[in-house]
Structure 1
Amino acid sequence: MPSYEIYYFPMPGRAFPTRCMLTLANVSYKNIIPNWPSDKPKMPYGRLPVLKEISEDGSEFTLSESIVIDRYIAQKYGFLPKDEKKRATVEQYIAQICDPIEAYADFAYIIKTEDSKKKLIEVLTYFIEKHELILSQNPAGYYYGDSITLPDIYLYSIFNA
């Protein structure tokens, strides 16, 4: 089984879903905190997070961009449906969950104004109305099936912010 290195800041942030999935899948990984910004040129595209997969034979595979990393790990360890249409449906939930995450980040870290607060409340209200219905239609309480999938982890990440 491969092991992983996750390069990210010492906070949950964009690496949180990847860490959750690897933990739930009982897969070995190591958090590496780069010396930022001096390590920025060493990172693919100069961004974090970065995932390095080390195979048993020592070969390495590196990915950048959190959404790509998350989908790669989710597919590999069963946190996305195998059926294309069901997976697309689940992935649309993920895209929608990103809306309140971005609105919160805008308010909390970038534009702390009454307008950004109002936008956050509007986005959250709309999100809760739509996703409460989606979740209530599954007796298991998950977005899809009877176990945790990537949108469940993304939803959890809102509460971990």
Structure 2
Amino acid sequence: MVHAFFNPAQAATFNKMAPCKGSTFEVHYFGIHGPAATTRAILAISGADFKNVVPEDWVAVKTKTPFGVVPILKEISVDGKEIQIAETDAIERYLARKFGLLGRDTFEETVINTFISSTSMIAGPVLAKYFAAQDPDSKAEIKAKIFKDSVQPWIAYHEQHLADNGSNGHYVGTTFSLADLQTAFLVKMVVGLWGDVISEGKNPALWKVKTNLEANAGYAAWTQTDSFKALDAMSKQLIGF
């Protein structure tokens, strides 16, 4: 049986809604920033109308998702039609294309996707090894190895590219892209785990990516909402940053 999320009968609705920017959105995820942070940021900087939905009965919700995980994005069109998208990467790329965060042409999109892939490898499977470790000694050893083998090279390569683009805080041109947003959150995560290994003085081009996002009017307004503050408090309680 075709899962509801992947039913070809939705194609016409998807294709009609994809370019429309006037929809409202629901971001279904737990009460922390986590993998939904970039999705929320895309919506915030794009001026979209969205709200967070924290599952009240996760066991029941889990059985209805394609892979038993969240986040899930729900989009409601102005005429009341609904679509839902599963999996973080699919959600982010769908929204990035809708709101113009994948570059102006095929070359820029390819550059953006390349740096997205590089960042995702650090933020996903690599750091998952650290958070999964329980023994303090093992955790410390894994943390040191991750920094040396993965984070330190990532810092060097991305700093160089961003500097080559004028140290303006963007991977291509002078406007936001999905790569910018993902890097801004990884910078925060790296600083949260390793301290000032990334700073304005040491890595001005990378640091500019972070400050660009923080200075964006839509994102700044989002950070002042009760919803964001609740997510922030729970994230700091659970993981420290």
Return the TM-score normalized by structure 1.
0.92
Q: Say yes or no: does 1:101 pair with 2:129.
A: no
The residue aligned with 2:79 is 57
Unmatched tracts of structure 2, length 5 or more: 1-21, 190-241
RMSD (Å), alpha carbons: 1.4
The residue aligned with 1:6 is 27
Alpha-carbon distance between aligned partners in 2 of 1:67 and 1:115, rounded to the nearest angstrom: 30
Q: Give the percent of matched residue pairs that are identical in Structure 1 and Structure 2.
A: 30
1:7-86 correspondence runs (5 A): 7-34=28-55, 35-86=57-108
Alpha-carbon distance between aligned partners in 2 of 1:27 and 1:33, rounded to the nearest angstrom: 19
The residue aligned with 2:198 is none
Letter of the aligned partner of 1:134 in structure 2?
A: H
Alpha-carbon distance between aligned partners in 1 of 2:72 and 2:79, rounded to the nearest angstrom: 21
Alpha-carbon distance between aligned partners in 2 of 1:119 and 1:64, rounded to the nearest angstrom: 32
Letter of the aligned partner of 2:106 in structure 1?
A: E
Judging by fraction of residues, say which structure has more helix.
Answer: 2
The residue aligned with 2:160 is 133
Letter of the aligned partner of 1:136 in structure 2?
A: A
Alpha-carbon distance between aligned partners in 1 of 2:101 and 2:32, rounded to the nearest angstrom: 23
Deviates more, 1:81-90 or 1:92-101: 81-90
Return the TM-score normalized by structure 2.
0.63
Alpha-carbon distance between aligned partners in 2 of 1:156 and 1:67, rounded to the nearest angstrom: 16
Alpha-carbon distance between aligned partners in 2 of 1:160 and 1:33, rounded to the nearest angstrom: 23
The residue aligned with 2:179 is 151
> Is contact 2:169-2:180 (8 Å) kept?
no
> Is contact 1:52-1:63 (8 Å) kept?
yes
How many residues in Structure 1 have an aligned counterpart in Structure 2?
A: 160
The residue aligned with 1:120 is 146
Alpha-carbon distance between aligned partners in 1 of 2:48 and 2:188, rounded to the nearest angstrom: 21
C-alpha deviation, 1:128, in angstroms: 0.9
Alpha-carbon distance between aligned partners in 2 of 1:155 and 1:133, rounded to the nearest angstrom: 14
> Is contact 2:74-2:82 (8 Å) kept?
yes
C-alpha deviation, 1:86, in angstroms: 1.7
